[in-house]
């Protein structure tokens, strides 16, 4: 028999448990998630899941970290319309994907837990930092008014897409993303997101 | 002893059970809702709740009908900016209120159930009908381009506010509502919501 490296086994267990977490979320939602069902689906002992992740929130937080770990480069297409379109397309890629959808829905359900809230805040802080770069370039090019607030732009790009996923249950397609980007661009140009 | 009119008693039981449903949602969310806890809080027999509402989705659907039954008159301030601001303020009134928040969160959690999905579709259809009136007047006044799609405007008004409630956990205040209205007005004027 080959010897199993502990690091490798630990990493494999983590991947199996977090994949099982997402599969359970896709099937049953956060309301239906249990340590038992995750352990069973992952083929590990329940005690392992409890020992390593502690709670359902602990599992969710680690799943969010694990699956959201592919960092996207900051768009730099040469104009604000193109940059916003790329950001909206990145949001769409997450929200139109079953794993992304399951994790976003779980975040909404468990957003009152402090650990989960912290992950959400960190995500939006990162997104706003990326948007700040894009906005700064657009202000320098004279495309957007000085004082345009990156946090407002950041929230506005995703809002119609999250709305379609979570509230109105409408299609998430390229046209929806492009419209979201065009709406933000128009509002930002009009100074809606600029400090008065 | 005075005789209890069956209609009156039935209505009182309904109000008690649906109020208990909302109170349970505020405390424990949809994931924590159970027929037992609702019956206990309302002071009625569990069997009554099962017989009359059948399932948790049945309870939620009736609570949505019961608490969303105050119809808002269509704004008519004389210009599109004022009308959109009133619509955004109406959305804010729901989303900044504990009952409204609990019901919206529950809708998101239970949106995959067909009865709940039907209530959501009906709500957005009504909202879009109201927006269509406002948009038609704005097009006649030359404020918005012909072909502006009411459904797109309807979704865009609420989107940043739902986003604050459900995703980013940011404050829901008058400034947020007014910014949402101004962003929609700018995008609509720029033709982002018009058929090409």
Residue A69 lies in a domain: no
Residue B74 lies in a domain: no
Q: Which residues of A133-167 are buried (b: 16+ CB within 10 A; e: fewer)?
A: ebbebbbeeebbbeebbbbbbbbbbbbbbbbbbbb
Rounded Cα–Cα distance for residues A193 and A139 (Å): 12
Q: What is the pLDDT of residue A182?
A: 98
Residue A155: which CATH number?
Answer: 1.10.357.10
Residue of B109, B120, B187 lying closest to A186 (CB–CB): B187
Q: Which residue has the tokens 């994949």?
A: A19
What is the ipTM score, two decimals? 0.90
Residue B100 lies in a domain: yes
Closest Cα in chain B, distance from residue A16 (Å): 25
Contact (CB<8Å) A124/B187: no
Report the candidate in B167, A95, B20 with the shortest Cα–Cα distance to residue B158.
Answer: B167
Taking contacts as CB-CB distances below 8 angstroms, the residues of chain A near B167 are 104, 107-108, 111, 120, 158, 162, 166
Q: Using CA coordinates, name the residue in chain B closest to A128.
A: B168
Residue B1 lies in a domain: no
B133 shares a domain with B41: no
Q: What is the pLDDT of residue A1?
A: 42
Residue A172 lies in a domain: yes
Contact (CB<8Å) A187/B189: no
B156 shares a domain with B108: yes
A127 shares a domain with A56: no
B61 contacts B110 by C-beta, under 8 angstroms: no
Q: What is the pLDDT of residue A12?
A: 92
Q: What is the mean pLDDT of residues A152-171?
A: 95
Q: Which residue has the tokens 């008065």?
A: A196
Q: What is the pLDDT of residue A69?
A: 63
Q: What is the mean pLDDT of residues A93-109?
A: 94
Contact (CB<8Å) A182/B192: yes
B176 shares a domain with B118: yes
The tally of domains found in chain A comes to 2
Residue A185 lies in a domain: yes
Residue A71 lies in a domain: no
A125 shares a domain with A42: no
A106 shares a domain with A49: no
A100 shares a domain with A10: no
A48 shares a domain with A109: no
Q: Give yes or no for residue A82 having a pLDDT over 80.
A: yes
Top pLDDT among A178 and B67 is at A178
**Domain boundary, last residue among B42, B67, B92:** B67
Q: Give yes or no for residue A150 having a pLDDT over 90.
A: yes
Q: What is the pLDDT of residue B69?
A: 63
Q: What is the pLDDT of residue A10?
A: 87
Q: Give yes or no for residue A140 having a pLDDT over 90.
A: yes
Taking contacts as CB-CB distances below 8 angstroms, the residues of chain B near A112 are 29
Q: What is the pLDDT of residue A22?
A: 97
SS (H, E, C) A9-30: HHHHHHHHHHHHHHHHHHHHCH
A145 shares a domain with A101: yes
Q: What is the pLDDT of residue A72?
A: 77
Confidence of residue A2 (pLDDT cuts 50, 70, 90): very low
Task: Name the DSSP letter for residue A78.
Answer: S
B88 shares a domain with B126: yes
Q: Give yes or no for residue A23 having a pLDDT over 80.
A: yes
Residue B194 lies in a domain: no
Q: What is the pLDDT of residue B2?
A: 46
Q: Give yes or no for residue A6 having a pLDDT over 60.
A: no
Confidence of residue A93 (pLDDT cuts 50, 70, 90): very high
Confidence of residue A14 (pLDDT cuts 50, 70, 90): very high
Taking contacts as CB-CB distances below 8 angstroms, the residues of chain B near A127 are none
In terms of residue numbers, what domain contains A15? Answer: 6-62
- pLDDT (tens, 9 = 90+) of chain B, 196 residues, equals 445 555 688 899 999 999 999 999 999 888 889 999 999 999 999 999 999 999 999 999 999 999 886 667 899 999 999 999 999 999 999 999 999 999 999 999 888 889 999 999 999 999 999 999 999 999 999 999 999 999 999 999 999 999 999 999 999 999 999 999 999 999 999 999 998 6
A90 shares a domain with A18: no
Task: Kindly report, residue by residue over A36-63, the tens digit of the pLDDT.
Answer: 999 999 999 999 999 999 999 999 999 9
B108 shares a domain with B25: no
Residue A43: which CATH number?
Answer: 1.10.10.60
């Amino acid at each position: 028999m080959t010897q199993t490296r502990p690091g490798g086994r630990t990493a494999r267990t983590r991947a199996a448990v977090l994949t099982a977490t997402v599969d359970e979320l896709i099937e049953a939602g956060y309301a239906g998630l249990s340590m038992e069902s995750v352990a069973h689906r992952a083929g590990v002992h329940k005690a392992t899941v409890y020992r390593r992740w502690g709670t359902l929130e602990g599992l969710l937080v680690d799943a969010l970290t694990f699956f959201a770990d592919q960092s996207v480069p900051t768009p730099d297409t040469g104009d604000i319309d193109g940059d916003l379109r790329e950001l909206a397309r990145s949001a769409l890629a997450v929200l139109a994907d079953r794993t992304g959808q399951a994790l976003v829905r779980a975040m909404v359900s468990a957003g009152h837990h402090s650990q989960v809230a912290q992950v959400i805040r960190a995500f939006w802080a990162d997104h706003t930092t990326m948007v700040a770069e894009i906005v700064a370039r657009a202000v320098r090019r004279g495309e957007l008014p000085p004082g345009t607030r990156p946090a407002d732009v950041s929230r506005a790009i995703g809002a119609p897409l999250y709305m379609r996923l979570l509230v109105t249950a409408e299609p998430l397609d390229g046209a929806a993303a492009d419209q979201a980007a065009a709406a933000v661009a128009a509002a930002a140009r009009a100074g809606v997101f600029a400090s008065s």
